Amino acid sequence: MTFQTMLASMSAGMLRSLAIFFLTLIFSLPLGMAVMYLRRSKYKVISGITKIYIAIMRGTPLMLQLLMWYFGPFYLFRWSIRGYRFPAIIIGFSMNYAAYFAEIYRSGYEAIPVGQFEAAEVLGYSRSQTFFKIILPQLVKTILPSITNEIITLVKDTSLAFTLAYNEMFSIAKQIASSQTSFVPFIIAGVFYFVMNYVVAFVMERAEKALAYY
Partner 1 sequence: MKKIAALLSVFVLCLAMLSGCVTIETGSQTGGNAGSEVKEEPAYLFLDETLGVESYAIGFRIGDDELAETVSGALKALVLDGTYAKIGASYPDIEEYLCLTADGIDADSLPEKGSGDPDYTFKHGFDLDYPPYSYLQDDGSVGGLDVELCQAVCDYLGWGYEAVPFNWDAKDMELNAGSCDCIWSGFTKEGREDDYTWGITYSNNTQGILVAADSGIKTLEDLSGKVVGVQTATSAYDMLQDARADLAGTFADLKVYETYTIAYNDLKAGAIDAIAIDMTAGTFLISNDQK
Please give the residue ranges that form the binding site for partner 1 (CB under 8 A).
Answer: 34-35, 37-38, 41, 43, 45-46, 49-50, 52-53, 56, 60, 65, 67-69, 71-76, 80-82, 84-85, 95, 162-165, 167, 171, 174-175, 177-179, 181, 183
For the bound state, the minimum distance from the C-beta of residue 103 to partner 1, rounded and expressed in Å, comes to 15
**CA 47 – CA 70 distance, rounded (Å):** 27
What is the crossing angle of helices 136-157 and 3-39, to 10°? Answer: 140
**CA 210 – CA 208 distance, rounded (Å):** 5
**CA 146 – CA 133 distance, rounded (Å):** 22
Output 74 or 202, the one with its CB closest to partner 1: 74
Output 85 or 133, the one with its CB closest to partner 1: 85
For the bound state, the minimum distance from the C-beta of residue 74 to partner 1, rounded and expressed in Å, comes to 4
CB 211 within 8 A of CB 145: no
Output 76 or 122, the one with its CB closest to partner 1: 76
For the bound state, the minimum distance from the C-beta of residue 77 to partner 1, rounded and expressed in Å, comes to 9
Question: DSSP for 1-20?
Answer: --HHHHHHHHHHHHHHHHHH
For the bound state, the minimum distance from the C-beta of residue 135 to partner 1, rounded and expressed in Å, comes to 17
**CA 138 – CA 147 distance, rounded (Å):** 14
Output 19 or 38, the one with its CB closest to partner 1: 38
